[in-house]
Amino acid sequence: MPEMPGMQMGHHVSGMDVTGAILLLLWAVAMWAAVVGLWYANRTPGKRWVFRASAVVITIGIVGQIGHLQEHVAQAGYWIRHPNDPAWMTPWGSGLAKGFGQVDTSHPTLGMEILHLVGNFIFLAGLAAVMVITRHSRSTQTRRWGKMGVWMQGIHGLEHLSLTLSVWFGADRAIGLSTWFGATQPGPGLSTYRLWWHFIANVMGSYIFSMALYHLWRERAVVEAAYRLNPTAPVNAGSRKPSSGLGDTSPQAA
């Protein structure tokens, strides 16, 4: 695959680069630990803390994907101005990649592959949290969009896993859908195809995530109703207020 500026073994790697990479990895691990724990705790309805905790994980996933998406937007913007240049990363992206690259310095592009793998799994954890929070609201639009996002981002995550492992195991170039399984020769053609493949995948994934969040906001009363120990009345999908007996108890259509 094309080399990334700043990804060569001879370039200086600062303590901040390594610390940032470790913290990002811990972020991903913590999110997935939370998702697994919340999924297990959410086997039965009526636990309001699961609803609140799932909402926090979703919010953290939003923050992570904003950072992830801006990297791809910046790369696309650079390509528009310099379409024949080698692939490029932002300074902060390059620093994190160099930090991850310390795992095995014999593969110059491994750090970049690990960085994008970790970023995608943070995004996937946010989508998985949508599935957790709607576990007892299976007929909602929120869950449909969340399921769509988990499938798409799951495939995207497997793509990055393939790219990462193929580089780590010593392949001449990264192997995956975005590199035509390593059949494309390094150069502007490969850089262009891979850059836009991942840009489009991230834009589509972000749109699906946004739609899941939009419907979660509209259907929040329905979703939250499953977490009340003694729901007093059914709530229609799209209602803005929960019918908990506090204030106006009549559901209002969005």
**Nearest 5 degrees, angle CA 78-CA 192-CA 180?**
150
What is the pLDDT, as a whole number, of residue 65? 97
**Nearest 5 degrees, angle CA 222-CA 214-CA 40?**
55
Residue 76 · residue 195 · CB < 8 Å: yes
The model's pTM: 0.85
Query: What's the domain range around 150?
Result: 15-225
Q: Is 12 helix (H, G, I), strand (E, B) or coil?
A: coil
- 5 falls within a domain: no
CA 128 to each of CA 31, 153, 175, 224, 251: distance values in angstroms, whole numbers, following the listed order: 10, 10, 26, 17, 28
What's the total number of domains in the chain? 1
CA 175 to each of CA 34, 165, 185: distance values in angstroms, whole numbers, following the listed order: 31, 9, 12
Residue 69: is its pLDDT beyond 50? yes
Higher local confidence (pLDDT), 199 or 226: 199
Give 64's contacts (C-beta < 8 A, 6+ positions apart): 27, 31, 119, 122, 123, 126
Residue 237 · residue 219 · CB < 8 Å: yes
Helices (H), ranges, 42-140: 48-81, 91-101, 110-133
What is the pLDDT, as a whole number, of residue 229? 60
pLDDT tens profile 195-220: 999 999 999 999 999 999 999 999 99
What is the pLDDT, as a whole number, of residue 125? 98
- 238 falls within a domain: no
What is the pLDDT, as a whole number, of residue 1? 40
What is the pLDDT, as a whole number, of residue 244? 39
Confidence of residue 11 (pLDDT cuts 50, 70, 90): low
- 57 falls within a domain: yes
pLDDT tens profile 44-55: 888 999 999 999
* Average confidence (pLDDT) over 115-141: 97
What is the pLDDT, as a whole number, of residue 185? 87
What is the pLDDT, as a whole number, of residue 46? 86
- 254 falls within a domain: no
Residue 9: is its pLDDT beyond 60? no
- 239 falls within a domain: no
Confidence of residue 140 (pLDDT cuts 50, 70, 90): very high
- Residue 82 CB neighbour total at 10 angstroms: 11
What is the pLDDT, as a whole number, of residue 184? 86
- 209 falls within a domain: yes
Residue 126 · residue 33 · CB < 8 Å: no
